Structure 1
C-alpha cells in the first residue's frame, strides 16, 4: 500500500501541488491555509472538551469565534497571539487509555494506526465541510484542501529524500513518535527496557552486596604455595631454612650475641646523645628540697 500511495503521489499529487504553488501567489496560499485551519479549530475545540481540557477549549473556541467573524470566515488569522493546538479524535481515544494498535498504511490517506484510523473516520464525519449540501462544492473543497496540504510538504520532501535511507521505516517511526507526543501533550512516558519490564533491574543494594561477596574476607586470604626447589651452591631455600632456635644451637656463629647498648645501674653519666637518660640506682625515695 505504501508503494501504491507513493506512485499516486509522484504521478498526480506532486505535479499538481507544484503547479498550484506556481500559480497561486503566496498571500493566496496563506488565506486558503487559514480558512481550512479555522475549520479544523472547530473539531479541535470539540476534542478539547472531550479530553477535559477546558482552558484549552476556551482558547481554541475564541480563535474560531474571532477568526470566523472579524477574520472573514477564517481567511485572516487575527488571533495569532492565541496558541493554536492540534487535537483530534484519535488523540481523544489515546487520552482515555485506548491503545494505538498496529501501524497501517491507508490508501490515499497514508500512515495511520488502528486507533487513528477510527479517529480519522469520526473527524471526517463531523467535519464542517460535510455539512455543505452541494456535493460538487463539497468535493471541490476536499480536493483544494488536499492539494494545499501537499503543496506545503514540498520543501519537507527534500529533507526526507536526503536524510532517509529507508523511506518507509523513516515515515513510520516519525509518524508514531509524533502521534505519541501529541497524545501526551509533548511529555510521553519513558520507555522501559526489557529488564525493567521483567522486573530484573538490579537495585543499588543488590549491586553493593555483589561487590562485597566478590571481595575475599580478611581471614580467607589465600596463602602462597610453598614449592620445593633444588638447592645449589650450598644455598638453602627459605622453606628449608631452620628456625632461629635450631640455627642458634647448630651454628656456632649464630651463638655470638650482637652487641647491644645496655644501661647498668652504675652508669649514671649524663649523655646528651642518648635518647633515654639513666635513672638513679638508689631505691630510696628522693627527697625534695
Structure 2
C-alpha cells in the first residue's frame, strides 16, 4: 500500500512537467461564445493574486510555445485521424473509474451506473477503449472528479490560482486533483512504472494536439479568457450543466457558456 502511494506521487510529480500550456488550450476548447441567461448561478471565485498569476501564466505560455506545442504539432501531423481518435478514446476510458468513484461519493446512482456501463462496454466491445461504443449505446460520458465532489458537499472554491506547469486551478480543484491521483482507485493501477509515466506523456501530448484547433477561440486578454473559461467550466461541472454568469466580464467582454464535451 505504501509503495503504491509513493508510486502515484512519483508519477504525478513527473507527469506535471508535461502539462505545460495544456490548460490554456483546454479552457478555450471548452468555451462557447454565447451569453449566459439571466438568473443563472454566479461563479463566486475571486482573483486576489492576479499579479502573481499573470507572471506564472506567462511562464507556462513560454514553455508551451517552445516545448509542448511543437511536440503536439508533430504528433498531429504524423498520426492518422483514426489512431488519434482511438488514443483519445483509450485514455478517456481510463477516467471512467474516477468518474464511478466520485459519482458514488456524490450519491449519484445514475451517473455511477453510466460510468460503470461505459467502462464495461468500451473495454469489452471497444478494444480496451480504443473505440467509444458506449456513446452509441446512449451512454455519454459524465465527467466527475474529487474537486466536483468537494463542491457537491459544499466546499468553497477558494481564490483563483495559476499554478506553474499545472495551469488554472483553485485550492478545491488542486486538492481534488491530488486526491484523484493519489487516493482514489484508478485504471492506471494496472500499469506499472515506468510504463505509466510514458503512457501519461502520450496522453498529455495527444490531448494538447487535439486542442490546437481550439486556439482560434481565444480573443482579447488571453489570461482573462482562460480564467473565465476555467471558472465557468468548473462551476458548470459541479452544478451538472447549470449555466453560470461570469463575474469578471465587463461591458467589453463577451460572456462565456461552457458546454460539456
Q: What TM-score comes out, normalization by structure 1 length? A: 0.62
Residues 55-94 of structure 1: pairs in structure 2 closer than 5 A? 55-80=110-135, 81-94=138-151
TM-superposed deviation, 1:131? 4.5
Decide whether the 8 Å contact of 2:147 with 2:175 is kept in 1. yes
TM-superposed deviation, 1:130? 4.6
Deviations 1:21-67 (A, max 9, x none): 00110000011011001001110011111111101111111110111
**Based on CA coordinates, which of the two structures has the bigger radius of gyration?**
1
Aligned to 1:39: 94
Aligned to 1:157: 215
Does residue 123 (structure 1) correspond to residue 175 (structure 2)? The answer is: no
TM-superposed deviation, 1:191? 9.2
Q: Which runs of 5+ in 1 are unaligned?
A: 193-289
Give the superposed CA RMSD: 1.7
Higher relative contact order (CA 8 A, sep 6+): 2
- CA–CA distance in 2 between the matches of 1:73 and 1:84? 16
Residues 133-282 of structure 1: pairs in structure 2 closer than 5 A? 133=192, 135-160=193-218, 163=219, 165-187=220-242
Aligned to 2:159: 102
Change (3 A) 1:63 1:166: same
3-state SS of paired residue (2:107): coil
Decide whether the 8 Å contact of 1:129 with 1:141 is kept in 2. no
Q: Which runs of 5+ in 2 are unaligned?
A: 1-55, 248-261
Aligned to 1:29: 84
Q: What TM-score comes out, normalization by structure 2 length? A: 0.69
- CA–CA distance in 2 between the matches of 1:109 and 1:144? 17
Deviations 1:217-242 (A, max 9, x none): xxxxxxxxxxxxxxxxxxxxxxxxxx
